Each structure stands twice: as C-alpha cells, then as structure tokens.
Chain A
Amino acid sequence: MALQKVNLKLYVYSGTSGSFSNGDLKYEISKDRISSQNNIVLEIGQLVKDYLVTSFDNDYIGNSVWVSAVVDYYEEATQAIYESNGTQTFTYLAFDGYGDFQEEINPALSTDLLQTSLNMYLPEGTAGKLPIFAEGVGKVIIDSVTTEITDNGNSNQKIQYLTIPANKSSVQIYATDDTTLLKTVTVNNVCEPKFTPHKVTFVNKLGTYQDVYFFKKTTESFNVKDETYKRNTIDTNTLTYGTNEGQKQRYNVNGSTKITLNTGYVKEDFNSALEELFLSENAWIRWENKTLPVIISSKDMTLKNVLNDRLIDYTVGFEFAFNKINNVR
C-alpha cells in the first residue's frame, strides 16, 4: 500500500474555524508522489497571501484569515481515495507576517504579543495600541488594571489591539492560565514641547499594525515630474504668431511629497521596530487628521547601539504613496 497522489482544496475565509463554504474555495492542487519519496510537499504561503487583504484607516481591525486545506489521499494500488482517513482537513490561521532566515522553515513566531519590541513610545497624554494574539493571552494588566482577553472564535478577533490609556507605564501580558507572566511592555510617555509628533503605522513582522511615533524634526519636500512638447502657433491667415504663446507646452505635470522624520532618542530594543518598518510592505502616516499611505524611501539603515552611538535616534525618509494632483481614474 502506497500513496499515489494528493488532491488539495484550499479554502481561505473569514468567520470561525471550519466555517468555509464552496465559495471560499480558492485553489485546487493535485500532486503525484515522487517515486523515490514517501511524502508529498506543497507550499501554500504564497497562495494564501493573495487573499490576505491589508487595509488600514486608523481603525486597527485584525486582518487574519482562516485557511483550511482539505486533502484527498489517493492509494496507488486502487487509484482511489483511501477508505480510512482518505480525506483530512487541516486548518490554519494566516497572518501577513514573515519569519527571519534563522527562524527556519514554517515559522510560527509569537503566540502572545504580536510585536517584537518590548518598548513603545507615546506622546504624553496620548493613548496607544498594542497588538496581541487572543488565543495565547489570558489577561493583561495595564499598570494595575486587569483586562481579561477573550475572543469568540471569529478570525477578526484573533488579533486584538489593546488600547493603552494615556500616560500608563507598563503592560503585563499573561498566558491563558492567567498566572504565567509572558512579557512586559514598557510604555515610554514622551514630552515633546517643540515639534509635532507624527504617528506612522506599519504592518510588522508578525502581520499586525504597529505604531511608531516620530517625535522630532519633520522635513517636507516636494518634487515634480513633467513632460513638454513643441507646438505650432503660426496663424497662417495672417502669417503671424503671438509672442505671448509659448513654443513649448508643458503637460503630464504632477508632483509627489516626501517627508523626513526623526524618532528622537529611543532604546536599543526599539531597533527591531525600525527594522520591521523598513521591511514592511504597507505603512501609513497620520497627517493632517487623515490616514495617508506612505512608502519608505530610505533604503539603508544602520542599526545603532548604546556602545557605539550612546544615544540612539533614527531618521527615516517617506514618500506619500500618491500624486499631489488627483489623477485617480
């Protein structure tokens, strides 16, 4: 008795685990076993990514999805599905995250706090958001106030964003037994009387929205792209041309805005947040009371440490991810 092939149906869906329907079927894959091997291997991360939509409007909604792989195992001798355990369903919860090379194959990453840095910086008097994985956290204690963490099984509740009230100093994250302290996040409340802090939100390594405040100087710049053509301005009836009419005409004019932001002094632990910002595919800035998409224009980052640099701050360049003139068609 040997395995001939597998037929895989891949369902990607929201709601509760296993609640998929025919409409959620995204891929059907069939693969034969290579004769010299005992198993069949398929990669699904890239397939699922197409259906993991990232959208942020300062609303902090969890964007994980369920993935159910329904597998039919075919027996070589009969070329039919095995009588026993011939069809099996495997269910996963997909995040828009990634593992580092050192984290090896099929990285699962953290199952409690969904950001790497254990420090966060907030402007004084400002509330913050902290992403957690609801299945792995029983309760959190913000300063001395306890909040029980529950979820109803829905995919949009798996990632939860804790609201950290203004001017709190720490968040303790406990396991589902409510007694094992997993992590403590230090909240640094920063007084910045001179500059206007800007909040940049990006999708971090664990696939959640993470805020980084840039407290110090902001520089805004602007560049323009255009094209020209030469035109004929001769009036053939009078055989004249107006000197007020240009021989060159400009068209397709548009511009884009760039900004340069500075973090202010941060702890070395915060390097990971900046590194993940640089590696993020999606980022937004809170700008003039709107959430606007940005692209990180800085491509190089030197990771600083207290030994070499004593005080650590970072300057990051961004470009708004849209044209100045509305030409959205």
Chain B
Amino acid sequence: MSTKINVRSPYFLQFTEPTQTLGVFTCDTALLQNFSVDSTGIINNPNIRNGAILDQSAYTFSPNTGTSVIPRSVTYTIAIPVNYTNSNDSTIDCVQTFDQPVRPPAQDPAQNPLCPTYTGVTVPDISGVAPSSVQTFNASQFFVAGTDGIGSIDVDRISGSGSVIASTSGTHPNIICTIQSSTSCVTAEFFLIARGNSTTCKGGSDSFTFTTSGCDDFDCDDANITAGTGRIEQDGTVHKSTWGLGGLGLNKLLYGATDITTSLNVGANNTGSVIPIVLTYRFNIPLGYTNSGTFDCDVTYSQPATTTLPEFTCGDAQITGTYISDSGNIAAPSLTLGTLVSWSPQSFLQVSTDTPRTITLTITPPPANFSNSGGANITCPVDITQPAKQADCGTITVFLSQGYSSVQDICYEQQAGRYWQTSNQVSTNASSAAAARYEYGSRMCYGTTPVFGLNRWYVITTTQTTGDALYNFYAIQIDENGIVQDSVIWNCGSVTGGSGGNI
C-alpha cells in the first residue's frame, strides 16, 4: 500500500547512512584454509575467514591403508552473513579437497606395538533415548593399550544431527563417554578413537549410533503441500504446488507411472471439458522419521479444456532481494513479473537483536497474460529478518588460531606434531591488543562480522605467529556472537591435556 502524506501537516523524511552491500558471497569470500585429512581419516576442519560453517558432508574417512594417497573432499555448508547481495540464499556449499596420505607403519596399530588397539567388540548403539537423558559408558573397555599406554579416548562424529553432544572424560581405564541431546527424534553416528600417551598412533573403533525417542512416520501431513498452489494448463504444462516442510526434497513427480519431473507436462486436454489430473509427489523421507526411503503424496488438479489465463499472484512476481538494513531501512526488492508500486512500512526502528519483520508489497500485475492484468494491485507480505545494529568490532588487530573443542585439544595436536598457528587476523574492541588475550566480554570480528565462535577455544596472539604448545600460550573461548567468554594461559607440558588455568 502506498505511503500517504497529508500535506497540511508536516511530513518528515529521515535519512541515515545507506547499508553497504558486500557483493556476492562466494567460497572465495568464505576463504576456507588449512583443511586436511590425516592418514587415519581424521578431518581437520578448515579455518573460515567469513561466514560460519553450519554443516559438513563428512566427519571422518577410513584410514588410508593403501600405497598411494587418496583424494578426499568434504562439502561445507556455510551461512552467508548479512549485507551480501545473496544473503537471502542463507547458505552456500563449498567443497574442500585434500590428498589423504598413506598411513605409515608407525601409526598402524597392527604394526606398531606402541599403539592402542581396538578390541573388536562392537560399541553398542544407543537408541530410543528420552530427550535430555544423559547416556554414559566406559569407552576404555573397547581398547587395549599398547606399550605406550592410552593417553586419551575421544568420541568423534561421523554424521548426523549437531544437536547430539558427545564427550569423554577421565583417564584410562576409566574414560567415560557421555552422550545426550535435548531434541526429539535425532540421530548421530560416532566412533571412538584412542591415542597413546606420547605417540601419534591412534586406534579407532567401529561406528555406533545414538538416537533419541519421539519419532513417528513421515506422511503427507508432514509434507504439508499447500492447497491452492500449483495448476495444470490446457496444453499440459504443470506448475508444481509448493509444500511447507522446509528442506524436504522431491524425489520424483509422477503422472501415473510416467516420470514428469523434468518435462513437467501431462499432455494437452482436447476433450472439450475439464478433466481431473492426479499427480504424485514422491518425496525423500528426511531424517528424523521412523520410516525411510520415499513417500508418495497425491494431489488432484483440474486441467481446463480451454486456455484460461491464470491469476497473477505473489508467487508469480518472484520477489527477491527484499532487504532490511541494520538501520531499519528497506531496500527495494526485485520482481520478475509485475511492477512494484510501494511497500509498507517504509522503514523500521533499529533493533539490538535480529528481529523478524513483515513487509507488505503492493504490486501491479503485468499488463497482459494474467486474468487480473489491468486490475487491482495485489499485496504481498514478505517475511524477512531485520539484522541487529552493527556490532562494535573495534579497531584493535589480533590473531586467532583455528577453533578447538577444548584447550586440551591443542595439546593433542602438539602431541601429533602440529604447532598452533594464529593465521586469522581479526579485529576486536578490547582495550588493547595485549588485553584482548584475556578480556572477557570483548568482541572478535572478521572485518565487521562477529566471529561465529561456537564456544570453541582459540589461541590468541598479538602478532601472526606459530607456536609450540609445550610453552605458555593464551587461549580464549568465543561464542556465536564473537564475544569472549573465557580465557586461560596454558601449556601442555609433558602431561596429556597440559596444565593451566583461568586468568
């Protein structure tokens, strides 16, 4: 609806600095670095310069027991930050590749007596667990120590829901694995990996699964095909319906037994009268249901006998690019069809947290080819999130390493012969570069985007450098908003996990 001005009263326009879009976010923009896969199949996830990793296609690979390297690739799903022209796409997939080296005899439990070895006893699956119920078992029982003993046993994810959290604690032979999830009907697959006290040799178990209860069968109600959407033209052209379940993939679209997924045509109706056409939507059943495979949902359409013009609707307009700046200004969206007349409201107030908004667009139908061409404007609500006002990222420059699940992981890396590297330049609003190493509550940003820290630990230095974890280093824990939540001075010494403490 047009914004009205009543000119006998004043009407004020308020202008603020326009939001600068940052172009198209690509994998080059994300700048994934230092991805690798070791000979035992462990994936070292890459550091990311912009955006945040949401998911990955693989969490581990098999050990390379052959005689030549194996090319490995992992597809990372990355959240696109705001202010990019394709921010509305939400995510982008970026593939990382690495040649997995051949496992040397020293890392082969079968050839190296120092190595811990897997007993071969199957780690039992854990299924039907009530959400938030904590499950524990002794992980040590599945391994036999080599002459080097067992320094640690980790539980590593192979696949599945990120809502399942697994960790280990204690010392061999009483290393306890703890697994839980607060979400109903989720599944994740893990395996255990044991490391010696001082060697880089590792032994891995078979995989096991963890599933929470609360699942039911997938059916058409879950698919939630939207009534009134989709149609079939007289010439047989099929316009598919939309469905409400996000992420649900269509396996095939069938007309009888004929696959029309690609052709999207059922043939012309020359009968002289309207005929009912039943199309079958064959969906891939998503994770989280007790059934699997595919599921068919039938939808009946009426195919007209004569060419009738469709009504121009919001879906036909193909609205893209609607955007609210962190100042609350609304950028004009793009339409594939129709003419944008106005939008309402014209702007929003600034917000301190991301806030869902609805903008109502008034659109004039195209002048021809629709039943309502030349008729009244239509209004289309667009739901979009207004980002919080730009975070204070400061101007102090410091450097971060890749993220570690715990400080102890830095020590394990050291024991594996890898030094930490602070290769990522970030800016912070800490009072100084030195203070940034221990100042709680300060914010770390890649450029102007807060570091999506996932509560991981990062080695922090005031210059870009590489260090041996046997010596003192600073590490900070960063949350999803880039805020420093904890900090320690640590050194790994000669003891697994090292020593250190809160600053």
Contacts and interface: CB of A to CB of B under 8 A. Distances in A.
Interface of A: 1-3, 6, 8, 16-18, 38-46, 48-49, 52, 67, 69, 71, 73, 82-86, 88-99, 105-109, 111, 133-136, 138, 148-153, 158, 176, 206-207, 281
Contacts of A149: 376
Contacts of A18: 339, 341
A41 B7 contact: no
A98 B331 CA distance: 28
B377 interface: yes
Interface string B4-46: 1111111111111111110000000000000000000000000
Contacts of B331: 85, 88
A90 B342 CA distance: 9
B4 A95 contact: yes
Most chain A CB atoms below 10 A, which of B18, B21, B331, B374: B18
Contacts of A93: 2-5, 342
A34 to B, nearest CB: 12
B402 interface: no
A233 B9 CA distance: 59
B9 A45 contact: yes
Interface residues of B, number: 35
Contacts of B21: 84-85
Contacts of B401: none
B4 A111 contact: yes
Interface of B: 1-21, 329, 331-332, 339, 341-342, 346, 362, 364, 374-377, 379
A17 B341 contact: yes
12 contacts: A39-B14, A40-B16, A43-B10, A69-B13, A73-B17, A82-B20, A91-B341, A92-B11, A93-B4, A94-B5, A98-B8, A107-B9
Given A3-B17, A151-B377, A43 B11 contact: yes
B10 A45 contact: yes
Contacts, number: 158
Contact of A41 (B13, B18, B329, B379): B13
Contacts of B329: 88
A158 B20 contact: no
Nearest to A37: B16
A95 B7 contact: yes
Contact of B1 (A96, A107, A135, A206): A135
A85 B6 contact: no
Contact of B15 (A6, A43, A151): A6
Contacts of B7: 45-46, 48-49, 52, 94-97, 207
A148 B372 CA distance: 13
B432 to A, nearest CB: 24
Ranked nearest first, the 9 interchain pairs of A and B with the lowest CB-CB distance are A98-B8, A97-B6, A85-B18, A45-B11, A150-B376, A49-B7, A93-B2, A3-B17, A94-B5
Given A45-B10, A85-B331, A106-B12, A67 B5 contact: yes
A59 to B, nearest CB: 21
Contact of A91 (B11, B14, B19, B342): B342
B377 A95 contact: no
A92 B3 contact: yes
A48 B10 CA distance: 10
B84 to A, nearest CB: 11
A6 B15 CA distance: 8
Given A17-B342, A45-B10, A149-B376, A95 B15 contact: no
A45 B6 CA distance: 7
